[in-house]
Structure 1
Amino acid sequence: MTIISGTRFDDVISATSRQGDILKGLVGNDTFEFYGMSQEDRFVGGRGDDTLTGIEIDIEAAAFETQALGTTFVGGRGVDTVEYSISVTLPTLKLSSFGMKLNSVEFRDYDLTLTGNYAGPEDTFKILGKNAAEIVAIRDVLLLSDIDTLKVNLRGGNDTLTVDVGSLDHIFVNTGGGGDTVVMHSSVDGAVINLGAGNDRIIMDSYHRETVKAGKGNDTIVLDHALWTVHTDTVTTGGGRDKIIVGGQPIVTAPLGNVVDFNAKRDKIGLAVDGNGTKPFDVVYSQQELTQELATNPDAYRTEYWLMDNKAGTLGFVYNGAVKEVLDFGGSIALDDQNFFKVDENYGYDFLL
């Protein structure tokens, strides 16, 4: 048995071909690099935010192959993460430690690559999480699989889900309890995202029809209509003090979203602007209001602004006199300046993550 120790700084500590070693990070935000043949090693993070990386798992048929079987990771004080890189052909994947012994490890980071043939009655890939803080990235950038439907149930914990699997017919996501983050890159004909309890965050970056149910908690929902130009999406805010971020350039061919249960007393809408102010923040509540303003101040004329029609219950973007509907609240509503706030040009990933 060999003991390999770090320092009080941020160290990168690599395992060797020997089995049964003890690797200690001591102090600092350390990175442990797993070596494929070093089974039964013991990684001890110590103080700091430590990460164990380099664990590759190949899952096919009814079994899985992992070289980490019997390995121990004790995170220690701080926010610690174990990272798995998984190639999967099974139609159902249950997330776990995959044979590792974990102690005081706050996050489990799963990078999933779909490579299997999912042809069958459902053409469905399912992911079942545990009551833990899970970071899950699902990828099929080479389009190796023929998946049509993706079902994800992450259960409890503060989870992060990123979906980038090309074009799908359906996605069903239940994040469960906890403060969860969902980032959608896939083109989906129909997605249903149930965020559940907790202060959740979601970025929708897809082309088609999605339904987001925020549930309880103070949730943040980003609608990026630089891409959302095909079908109208539906957002149910539910309980809590929710924020809907309207990003991108608001020149859309279809309404961006139908908003259900928006509470004018506690919910807010963020409008994206950049450092040069080229994305306007001006909100006008009637054309009459603008006409009256121009009568006393001709310099107030602008070619682009937001029009909040409380009577119709719609938020539109006016460009050179033409109104493009962006949000539909499903009937009359009473919004004012208290319901709107500015979001900078990094309204998406930098704003949330």
Structure 2
Amino acid sequence: MKAHLAMRLLADLMDWDETRATEEFAWLRLMVTAKYDHYQGYSPGSRFYVNLISWIGQFRPADRAAAYAFVRKHLVFVSQSEMHHLVALSMPAIQRAMRNELAESLAVPIYKTWGDRDAEKRLAIMGIRTLYVALSDGAKIDVFRRDNEGVVSTEQVVAASEISNEKWQKLKEALRERLDANGFAAEDALFERVCLIDDFTASGATLIRKDDNGPWKGKIPTFCGQNADRIGNFLTADCCIHVHHYLASSRATGLATASVQQYRAAVDTFRFALTFSAVLSEQIVVSDDSAADLVLLLKDYYDPSIQDKHLGADVWYGYRQCGLPVVLYHNTPNNSVAILWATSGSRHKPPTHRMTPLFARKKRHADHG
């Protein structure tokens, strides 16, 4: 659809006068060109304007202003270039955590570790004996490796978190070579830090959780459980599991930090560290305390047919009620409010409102029950 035709149709749907339309189209042209047209979840040939008109059209005329205002004032769209910038910020955050840890072990302020020969040597060894592991295909581990060429060896980067014994052996052999080549032949070829990397955490639940009296679940307990018996052979006895996300919600950072502390007390196998390139402000979260017209919009145009065993019930604020207005360039998190990403199914009869997404989500799980 041509942009000028889309704008005319949008103006008719929104009942904008010429002055308002001119103002809104200037903003839309900027955002569509810079961000929205580059969403990778669109079907071939589809672009933002087509989706926006279809999305706005699902609302009653009286509710369209609130819907558009949500996009205009609340939507947080993370573009590919912005995500890659967050990837570039990762190594400084990771190295800062390493330096903080060293300063604590030496009982000195962190600034005293700079220029100290023994401290710098210890940091160099720590850097060599760190393994970087992607937790998902969203981890952009290829971008991370290229951004840190010369700092991180190719043999220090693993593209998947399930690592076979054969792969561990190859990683250990490469570590031995790096230590020898850098003058650290006396150091054991054991990894003292495993840095688990991912792009985004919204609730922290996928990372680590414990329901009532059940077992610990999530990516951290899974990785630790799979590799606990590798301590002493491939990992040092005091190995640190360092989890880094490029982006996180404020809620996720708090919950994940508290859960990791509880998990460490329960298992007492690894040490843990959590870092983030950027943390979204709590102020962006949509909840019952948000503007009344927005809250009504989210609930009135909600269709229970989108629910499945993974999402749960009443997820107009998204999975685990995170209430995020966030869209990532490659997909929309299910922790974001449902009107952004949900597509109605056909399981509820008589049919409720059929939800049309603005940024259709690619599901990670398929619900067969």
Structure with greater strand share of residues: 1
TM-score, normalised to structure 2's length? 0.21
Higher RCO (CA < 8 A, seq sep 6+)? 2
TM-score, normalised to structure 1's length? 0.21
Structure with greater helix share of residues: 2
